[in-house]
Structures are given as C-alpha cells and as structure tokens.
A and B are shown apart, each in its own frame.
Chain A
Amino acid sequence: MRWFLFLLLVVALVPAASAENHTVIVTQADDSSSYFFDPEVLTVNIGDTVEFVWGNGSHNVAQVSDSESKTYGSGFYSGVPEVGGNWVLPAEYTMQDGTLYYVCQPHALMGMSGSIIVGTGTPPLPDIAMEFGDFPWLSYLLVFPLIGSLWILGFRNNPSAPRIIALFTTLFTLGLSIIIFVKAGSGSGFRLMEEYVWAPKLGVSLLLGVDGLSSPMVLLTGIITPLAVLFAWHEKEKPALFFALLLVMQTALFGVFITLDYFVFYIFWEVVLIPMFFLIAIWGGDNKRYASIKFIIYTFTASVVMLVGFMALYFEAGVNSFSMIEIAEANAGFNRDFQIWVFAALFIGFAVKIPSVPWHTWLPDAHVEAPTAGSILLAGVMLKMGLYGLMRAAIPVLPLGAEYFVPIMVVLAIVSILYGAALSLGQEDLKKLVAYSSVSHMGVALLGVATMTELGFAGAVFMMFAHGILSPAMFMVAGVMLHQVGTRDIPKLGGLAGYQPTTAGVFVVIFLGSLGLPGMAVFVAELAVFIAFFQSHGYWLILPIFGMVLTAGYHLWALQRSLFGPDSEQIEMNQVHEAPWYEFYPLLVIVILAAFFGIFPSYLMDPITVACYDILAFMGEV
C-alpha cells in the first residue's frame, strides 16, 4: 500500500517537474452558431508550451493584453486567417507569471476569446529601481537647516542677524531642493538614495531617497520656507528663537518627505509638531494657548495610533526592516483583515493631518492663532504630510485595505469639499476663510487618491503642490491686510483697491488662482482629479462640482467685499498703503510660480505620473 502511494506520488510529481505540453483546440460549431477555444481558460506553469490547433474555419489567435506585451509577442500571432488546413501555433511560456488574454480577431465578438494563466496569474512586483547617489544631497538637505538654526542661536542677541542667517540658509536649501528636484528626474524608482545604519538589530536605518512623489514636495518645502522667512522679516518678539524654530521645522519637513524608513518617518513626523507648537504658542494670537494645545493633542493622538500600525506592519512583513520598500515588497503576504485594520490605524493618523472632516477642527483654530509665517508652513507644507503619508506609507503596502476604504475616503472627501466650502462662505475672518478653504481643497486631493487610478493620484499630488503654493499666498494676503489695514475682518474691509492698486491686483490673481482659474496650477489638479473621479465613480461627480461652485462663490464674494465696493468707514483709508517689499515680493513669486506650473504642468506632472504608476504597480493594479 505504501509503495503504491509512493508510486502515485512519483507519477504525480514527474510531469509537474518537467515542461508540459498543452493543447488548445480552435474550433467552431458545424452550423457556425458558436465559436470557441477549448479549453477557454488554461492554466500553465512557467516553461510549459501551448499549441493552438485548428482544422476548420478561418481563425487567428491574436494576443490582446498582458502585463508586458512584448514578452510573449513572438510566435503568438497566427497571421491572416486562412480557410482550411491544419494550423498549429506553438508558444512557450518561459518568462514570468502573468495572465494573457487572446482572441480570434474576426470572431472575438462572437465569444471566441480565451486566456492563459501562467503560474500564479499575477505578474511579480516590479523591481523598484534604487539608485544610490554619489553625493549626499539629501543628507545635506537635513543638515543645513539644523546648522542654520544653531548658527542663529549663536547670534541671538543681534537684532537683525537671525533673519539674515535664516534667509541665507533657506535660500541655500532652496537651491539644494531645486537640484534634487532636477536630479530626481522623471524616471521610475528612487533616486539619490543614501543609507545610514542606525539600529541594524531592529532594522532601522536612515534610508533616504526621492522619487516623483517626494521630489515635488521637497521642492515645495524649499520654496515655501524662504517665503515664510521673508514674510516674518519684521518679527520683533524673540526673533532668534522664531527663526531657529522655523529652520528646525524645515529639517523635520524635509525629513518626512525624503525618508523611506517607517521608524525614521515617524520620528520626523512627530518632530514637526514641537516647533509648530511653540510657533503657535509663543507668537500666536489672543487664543494661542487653547489653539496650540488643541493642535498638538489632536495630531499626537492620531499619530501614536499610526505608530502602532507601523509596528504591526513591521511584524507582519517579517523582513526585520522598517524600510518602506522592503515592507511593500512583502505585501502579498498580508491577509485582508489585517490590511483593513492596519489601514484604519494609518488612515486615522494621516486623515487628521490632511485634515479631513470630521477631524478638521484643529485646523481653523491653529491657523487663526498662528503667526503668518507659521500659517504659511502649516498650510503650505504640513497639510501635505497627511496625503503624502497616505500615498507613500499606507496605500502601496496595504492595497486591499485601501480598496476597502475607498467608499469611506470618497464620502469623507466629498463631505470635506462641500463642508469646507460652505463654512468658508460664512466666515468673516479672512484667515478662517482660508483655513476652511484648505479643508475643501485637500478634500479634492483626497478624492483624487480615493479614485485609485494613476490620473487621480497624479491630480492629488499636483493639488498638493498647487495648494501648497497658493494657500500660503492666501495667508500672506490675510497677513498683509492685518499689517497694512489693521484688520482682516471681511465686513470691516472695503474699497481697498483704490488705495493699494498694485497689491490688490496681486490679491485678485491669487484669489482667482485659488478658485481654479484655468492657466493656474490649481485648475490642472482639479481637472485631473475630476476626470479620474468621473471615470471611476460616474455622475457622483456632480457633488464635488457643486463644491467648486461654492468655492468660486466664497472666493469672489470675499474679494468683492474686501477689495472693491464702497470705501469702508470702519478703517482709516488714508493709512492704507501698498504692501512693503518683504511682503509684496513673496506674493509676486508665488503668482509667477502658480502661473508657470499652470501653463507648463508637465514639469511636475511627468515625475508625478511615473511615481503614481509605481504605486499602482506595488498595489498590483496594473
């Protein structure tokens, strides 16, 4: 009996081990009523050969799709259909796992189609190109702002040295980030990688690298920080500490965007909070104590939940490394329930930062109380951390979890768009209006992510960049109002255009850009997201479109009430004058940038699209 079983086993194993020959009969019923391949679905192993055999009818076998069509291209097309004769089309499957679909071109619509599943049927994950740089650009990005902040603390008793040092440092890092953006290029995979081992036993290392997803964010951080420094040029209260904190924050933000290690990512993520807390708490408005505490408690609570998710990922992957790339490559082993739970934990951490309704309430408070430079960094860069994290740390690793959350993300995004826009309509404080408009705009970006398509992702990232330069501009407008007019309450303003025509002109352009005027960056992003959303969810698009109507409404209404119309009687109009250079030029720079990327979106779109394709490839969606 035992021998018999053994023999059976041998008989079963021998054919499996060697290459197998399969046959597909290509045929049609005698009355020409039906055409089919037999078997219709064929499962083969790598190395097997398949022969298509047919004797009647004029058919061909044409391959229509597969992951990389070139792989099986040769020998897989039987040419012009011929009547009669015995045709044989051999094909060998030696390359890789995958699923091929083929048809008979004349009879495809009559049901003559079939597929061959090779191996597991899903192509293996693409090898992510990892290019280690020969020059440590990325670590310089982390180190220079820190050096700058120490340098500032060395000159803390000098009234003007801190701001000059800060400007110098940030301009320098701007140069670095432009170089990095250019060097990152638009190829697939990570560039300029660096690795510094920190705790090998636990698999923690400072793994740096940029791809098309992070290089726009690095560029954005590089652009926004010098503008924030410039805008805070006349900070009188503890300037040294102020600028030092700004620079520490810049380091942490760069760190979030360029690190590829979950542990280090979390550290930078949290370090961002500390300088921001002090920026709001020390230089904020009247209600600063409440706002700063609310800000830090909200975001910290969310991110510790996220940390538990990171640890769960680390254990489940079992690769003894916190590297995002390695964990993502192991994602095939995560079962669906695990993915859903962990994605929920990560999503809470990221959604609070985005911020998505219903976790947005910290944002208006933080913005209203923060000093303008703080608001600029908060709206310009910090809000992008949430979506960036979602796309970098959550979606590629947890595709099934992400899919499960698509409906929730769509609902949250649409509610954010509508709710943010509706609340903006009702705001009287210009800064609060901009804060709620951020909720709405980031809702659009979240909508793009929720489509789970390449175009949607790309639109979302573009939105992050576009909003990242335009919403700081809006806060600068609010700051200019406060400095030069004395108030930023919209009902108290009116007729300013007559007294500060140049400044008002720039204001108008910025407001129009922010509401999505074609030719400005936001428009490109919104268009991409909406097309993607239409493709994936159809006429639900009507809801976000309605949100755009509201957006246009509150922007134009605010513009009309504050700049135009009759002169306000609540402010002394003869005291109103043009914005000073250190407030005007940052605005101008932003207008130029927004127009540039609106007219030539491909500079950004190219790398972004490639990176988004990589993400989808990790998810196994393409």
Chain B
Amino acid sequence: MDSSLLFLPELLLVASIMAIPALYIATENNKSYSICANMTLALSFLLLILFWFYPDEVSFEKNSSVYIIYSHFKLDTFSQLFKIIFVLTALTVSVLSGSYFEEDEPHQAEYYTLLLSSTLGMMLVASATDFLTLFLGIEISAFSSYAMVAFRKQDDKSTEAGAKYFLIGAFSSALTLYGISLLYALTGSITFEGMRSFFTGLNNEVVSGNFDEVIFISSLFILAGLGFKIAVVPFHAWAPDVYQGAPTPVTTLLAAGSKAMGFVALFRVFLFTMEAVSDEWKLILGIIALASMTIGNLAAITQDDIGRMLAYSSIAQAGYILIAVPALTDDAVSGAIAHTMVHAFMKGGAFVIVAGVGAAGLGYSLDSYKGLAARSQLLALSMTVCLLSLVGIPPFAGFISKFLLFYGTLQAGLSGDTWIIALVIAGVLNSALSLYYYLKVIRFMYLYDAVGSKDIEFSNAVRYISFLTVLFLAIILPLFWQSLFEICKEATVALMT
C-alpha cells in the first residue's frame, strides 16, 4: 500500500475542519458540532493506534522513517507517539467541552473548528522535516488557540487573556522566525537534515569558518520562541494569566497539548538539527531549566487560584524536562519524552477536574476545593493521584517518568559534564519543594468541610475522564513502565538519528 495512507489522520481532521462550517450552515443544532469533532478525533485516534500496532499494512516502518508529500513530512516512532498524545488530548478536550459549555453558548461551531485546526497544527509539528513546515505547524496551532482563548467574547477575563496570549505569542514567533532566517543564511538550507549535515561538517572541520556567535544568537532567537510555547522562565509570564483567564477546556489543551508540541519542536530543533553544535546552547538551556523549576515552584506556593497554581507548576515541570536536553544521551532524552507524555496526562487530568469543579459552579479558587472529597470521592481521588503524580511520589506514573528523566540525566552527568549533576539535584530538591503546594490542595479536599451544599452533580464526562486518568496514572503505567521506557527509547532513536 502507499505510505501516504499514513497521512489519513491529518486528512480526516482537515475534512472535519471544512465539514463543521458546512454543518453550521446546514443546521442550527449546537450538539452536532461537538459530535462531529468527537467522532473525527476518535476516528483519527483509532487510526493512529492501528498504524502503531499494524505498521506493515500501511508500510510504516518503526525502525526507519517514512517520508511523504515530497519529503515535507516525516513519519517515525517519535512523531506517531506524540500524534497519539495530541489527538488523545484533543479528544479529551472535545468531550470535556461538550459538558463544560452551556447548550446555548454562542460560537460553538467556530470553537470546534479551531480545536481541530489547533490539533492539526500540532500534528504537523510532530512530522515536520524542515523549519518552514515546523513554523507553519506552530502557527496554525497557535492562531487557533489565540482565538480559542479569547472565544468567550462576553467574558472580560477570557478576552484579556486572549489579547495577552496573542501579543506575546506573535512577538515570540517573530523572534523564532528571525532565528530560522539566520540559520538559513548560515547554512543555505531550511531542512533539518541539511542543517544537521552542515553543523556536523562544521564540527568535523569539513566546513571551515567560525560561526559560533551566529549559531549562539540564532539558537537564542529560536529558544525564545519555543520557550514561549513550553512556558519556561523568562518566557513564562503569559502562562499564569492565560491558564487562569481562558475557558478551562482550552487551558487543558494548552497545558497538555500545546506544551507537548513545544517540546516536540524543541527536541527536533536542538536534539536533531543542532546536536553537533551543542556546546553553543547547552549551558543556556541548563540555566533556563534551573531558573524555571525554581521560580515556577516558588511562585506556585503563594497562588490562590487553581489555574495559576497549575500554570506555575507546569512552568516548573518544563524546567525538569529541559534538564535532559543538555545531557544529550539516549537515556536522558527518552526520560524527557516519557515525562513530556506523562505530564500531558497529569496536567490534563488535573485541568479536567478543574473544569468539572468550575462547571459545577464552585469557582476556580483553591478554596473551592475544600471538602471536594465529601462531594465526589472519585474527583478528589483523581485530583490526588494527578497531584501526587506531579510531585513524583511513587508508585504513580509521575514518579516513573521523573525517575527515568533523572536517571538518564544523572547517568550523563556522572559520565560527562559534571554540572548536569547539579541540575538533577536541583530538580530533586524542587520536587520536594513542590510537595507543599500540591498538598495544600489535597488537604483542602480531604480535611476541610465543604462550604455550601454537598449535593452537586458533576457531569458524566468529567467523571469518566477522571476515572480513566486514575486508572492510567495509578495502575496501568506503573505496572507496565518497562514498555513505556522501551517506547520512549524507540522514539529517541527515531528522533536522534
């Protein structure tokens, strides 16, 4: 069979992006958009899973990459793995949105269209083979999410968050683009392969010349743009505001999907394209990692809005993941991939509950979690599992992935750059620090009495999703973490060669 079939999940999304506006013209029924989006995403998810388990049928080779559409898209284990994560996140968000928004909420057709196009952008990023495709993917996803953040036009906070997100996002993507143009000017190529061979040549002195400054400056520019996507210090200022102001399902998409997309792009750029010149950017990434985990955790302690708190926590988590990038070894990178994926689940799971609690009318402050255990054992349990997992307390999945991350990085530190050990120790101490603010929520849920009525109906979607989250984070991943490790290892090999 033709391997273009592998592009089917993306094509499905494109078709649906066109179909929903058509539905809007044909029918006034708000439910139909969400059903259409759910079905598209579920189908696309199923296809991805099928491709994963039956690679031969679609001439997908796990050991080597498949290039399609004039080599503009590359399908390998790494890209497919993250596509699964993106589509799963989008599916969760879509299901969640159905229960989060009122039946008569305006502009639902636009919302679902944007959700799908944002997902499409992420998937393009995962498969990109050159900077132009990468940039297009990032922008498609970003533009859609700007609009989604601001989509409640009557909501003052939503609009303000949207404006901030848009302005900072546009600024940083302009910086990235300039960095890309500098790299193009230097190497004369825009594909990852071309640049990589140029840098390798530079390293082996096949290409003569000293371009250290240019490489350093352009990696700074690119880092500024991607750092904005993954929200690391000093490009993090938007995250708390946007996470707080945006409608919670959109926040879920940003925290789980968009962040993972940022990491995918970062891995492709730094670990593949610019690997040979790692001396130029290693230290700066290390410093950013250290700063963002420390500042993120310290800032999270004093927050009293759950969205802001989780935003700062995700800044800190981005810091943890970044420590593996300067380490550059297979083990460290597969740890980073594992933690990126598990982080999407943990953060996504936590925001689903935030959405559920918010939709039930309890509000978004930390106080609204007081007595949640009395209102719903399941939601409280799920939140506890997500939060303890974020801290990295065994036996939850967060511990496993964090362990793999620190394991690989420490190994690299012990055998090479000793300053990386300091990053690992800082990460470990930061995990202990973060326990404080996560426990605050857990204490609120279990130890305080609920203010107001106890009988609050949480929507079924939230309940099912949180049940699945518990199942996944507390049982499935910890039991089968060897498979997780192996998958991540495969993805790393696909990424770095």
A581 and B436 CA atoms in complex are apart in Å by 41
Closest beta carbon of chain B to A330's beta carbon, Å: 15
Closest beta carbon of chain B to A203's beta carbon, Å: 11
Closest to A266 in B: B394
Q: With A202-B482, A274-B388 given, is the CB distance from A293 to B407 under 8 Å?
A: no
Contact of A308 among B392, B410, B481 (CB under 8 A): B410
A300 and B414 CA atoms in complex are apart in Å by 24
Query: Number of contacting residues on B, CB 8 A?
Result: 31
Contacts of B406 in A (CB 8 A): 307-308, 311
Establish whether residues B435 and A308, one from each chain, have CB atoms under 8 Å apart when the complex forms. no
Mostly, the B contact residues are helix
18 A-B residue pairings within 8 Å (CB atoms): A198-B482, A199-B482, A202-B485, A270-B394, A271-B394, A277-B439, A289-B443, A292-B443, A293-B443, A297-B432, A301-B435, A304-B428, A305-B429, A311-B406, A311-B407, A311-B410, A312-B414, A315-B410
Kindly state whether residue B251 has any CB partner on chain A within 8 Å. Answer: no
A311 and B394 CA atoms in complex are apart in Å by 15
Q: With A278-B446, A311-B410 given, is the CB distance from A304 to B431 under 8 Å?
A: yes
Closest beta carbon of chain A to B497's beta carbon, Å: 19
Q: With A281-B443, A289-B443, A293-B443 given, is the CB distance from A308 to B424 under 8 Å?
A: yes
A381 and B433 CA atoms in complex are apart in Å by 27
Contacts of A263 in B (CB 8 A): 403
What mask results when residues 288 to 311 of chain A are scored 1 for a CB within 8 Å of chain B, else 0? 110011001100110011011001
Q: With A308-B425, A311-B410 given, is the CB distance from A199 to B443 under 8 Å?
A: no
Contacts of A315 in B (CB 8 A): 410-411, 414-415
Establish whether residues B428 and A289, one from each chain, have CB atoms under 8 Å apart when the complex forms. no
Kindly state whether residue A91 has any CB partner on chain B within 8 Å. Answer: no
Establish whether residues A304 and B394, one from each chain, have CB atoms under 8 Å apart when the complex forms. no
Closest beta carbon of chain A to B134's beta carbon, Å: 32
Closest to B407 in A: A311
Kindly state whether residue B47 has any CB partner on chain A within 8 Å. Answer: no
Kindly state whether residue A497 has any CB partner on chain B within 8 Å. Answer: no
Contact of B393 among A199, A282, A288, A300 (CB under 8 A): A300
Q: Which of B389-413 contact A (CB under 8 A)?
A: 391-395, 399, 403, 406-407, 410-411
Kindly state whether residue A15 has any CB partner on chain B within 8 Å. Answer: no
Establish whether residues A301 and B410, one from each chain, have CB atoms under 8 Å apart when the complex forms. no
Report which residue of B407, B415, B425, B432 has the largest number of chain A beta carbons within 10 angstroms of its beta carbon.
B432
A6 and B403 CA atoms in complex are apart in Å by 52
Kindly state whether residue B186 has any CB partner on chain A within 8 Å. Answer: no
Closest to B448 in A: A289
Establish whether residues A300 and B428, one from each chain, have CB atoms under 8 Å apart when the complex forms. no
A292 and B439 CA atoms in complex are apart in Å by 10
Kindly state whether residue B103 has any CB partner on chain A within 8 Å. Answer: no
Establish whether residues B432 and A267, one from each chain, have CB atoms under 8 Å apart when the complex forms. no
A-B contact count (CB 8 A): 80
What mask results when residues 230 to 270 of chain A are scored 1 for a CB within 8 Å of chain B, else 0? 00000000000000000000000000000000010011001
A296 and B482 CA atoms in complex are apart in Å by 29
Closest to B331 in A: A202
Kindly state whether residue B447 has any CB partner on chain A within 8 Å. Answer: yes
A300 and B486 CA atoms in complex are apart in Å by 29
A413 and B353 CA atoms in complex are apart in Å by 48
Establish whether residues A305 and B428, one from each chain, have CB atoms under 8 Å apart when the complex forms. yes
A316 and B410 CA atoms in complex are apart in Å by 11
Contacts of B443 in A (CB 8 A): 281, 289, 292-293
A300 and B481 CA atoms in complex are apart in Å by 23
What mask results when residues 480 to 494 of chain A are scored 1 for a CB within 8 Å of chain B, else 0? 000000000000000
Closest beta carbon of chain A to B321's beta carbon, Å: 17
A304 and B431 CA atoms in complex are apart in Å by 8
A37 and B486 CA atoms in complex are apart in Å by 63
Kindly state whether residue A201 has any CB partner on chain B within 8 Å. Answer: yes
A316 and B433 CA atoms in complex are apart in Å by 28
Contacts of B439 in A (CB 8 A): 277, 293, 296-297
Closest to A345 in B: B425
Establish whether residues B446 and A281, one from each chain, have CB atoms under 8 Å apart when the complex forms. yes
Establish whether residues B435 and A297, one from each chain, have CB atoms under 8 Å apart when the complex forms. yes
Establish whether residues B429 and A282, one from each chain, have CB atoms under 8 Å apart when the complex forms. no
Closest beta carbon of chain A to B320's beta carbon, Å: 12
Q: With A274-B388, A297-B436, A300-B435 given, is the CB distance from A199 to B485 under 8 Å?
A: yes
Establish whether residues B410 and A201, one from each chain, have CB atoms under 8 Å apart when the complex forms. no
A300 and B435 CA atoms in complex are apart in Å by 8
Contacts of B410 in A (CB 8 A): 308, 311-312, 315
Establish whether residues B429 and A301, one from each chain, have CB atoms under 8 Å apart when the complex forms. yes
Kindly state whether residue A200 has any CB partner on chain B within 8 Å. Answer: yes
Kindly state whether residue A531 has any CB partner on chain B within 8 Å. Answer: no
Contacts of A278 in B (CB 8 A): 446
Contacts of B411 in A (CB 8 A): 311, 315
> Known contacts A198-B481, A289-B447; can you find 17 more A-B pairs with CB under 8 A?
A199-B485, A201-B485, A270-B394, A270-B399, A271-B395, A274-B388, A274-B393, A281-B443, A293-B439, A296-B435, A300-B393, A304-B428, A304-B432, A307-B406, A307-B428, A308-B406, A311-B410
Kindly state whether residue A273 has any CB partner on chain B within 8 Å. Answer: yes
Contacts of B424 in A (CB 8 A): 308
Contacts of B393 in A (CB 8 A): 270, 273-274, 300
Closest to A267 in B: B394
A281 and B424 CA atoms in complex are apart in Å by 31
Closest to A293 in B: B439
Contacts of A202 in B (CB 8 A): 407, 482, 485
Contacts of A199 in B (CB 8 A): 481-482, 485
Report which residue of A263, A270, A271, A305 has the largest number of chain B beta carbons within 10 angstroms of its beta carbon.
A270
Closest to B410 in A: A311
Closest beta carbon of chain A to B378's beta carbon, Å: 13
A231 and B414 CA atoms in complex are apart in Å by 50
A300 and B388 CA atoms in complex are apart in Å by 12
Closest to B394 in A: A267
What mask results when residues 421 to 450 of chain B are scored 1 for a CB within 8 Å of chain A, else 0? 000110011011101100100010011000
Contacts of B486 in A (CB 8 A): 201
Contacts of A271 in B (CB 8 A): 394-395
Contacts of A305 in B (CB 8 A): 425, 428-429
A198 and B429 CA atoms in complex are apart in Å by 27
What mask results when residues 367 to 400 of chain B are scored 1 for a CB within 8 Å of chain A, else 0? 0000000000000000000001001111100010
A490 and B439 CA atoms in complex are apart in Å by 35
Q: Which of A486-518 contact B (CB under 8 A)?
A: none
Closest beta carbon of chain B to A448's beta carbon, Å: 30
Contact of A301 among B395, B403, B432 (CB under 8 A): B432
Closest to B408 in A: A311
Contacts of A201 in B (CB 8 A): 482, 485-486
Contacts of A289 in B (CB 8 A): 443, 447
Question: Top 5 closest A-B pairs, CB basis?
Answer: A301-B432, A199-B482, A267-B394, A304-B428, A270-B394
A308 and B432 CA atoms in complex are apart in Å by 13
Closest beta carbon of chain A to B356's beta carbon, Å: 23
Closest beta carbon of chain A to B494's beta carbon, Å: 18
Q: Which of A310-335 contact B (CB under 8 A)?
A: 311-312, 315-316
A305 and B443 CA atoms in complex are apart in Å by 25
Closest beta carbon of chain B to A240's beta carbon, Å: 12
A19 and B368 CA atoms in complex are apart in Å by 83
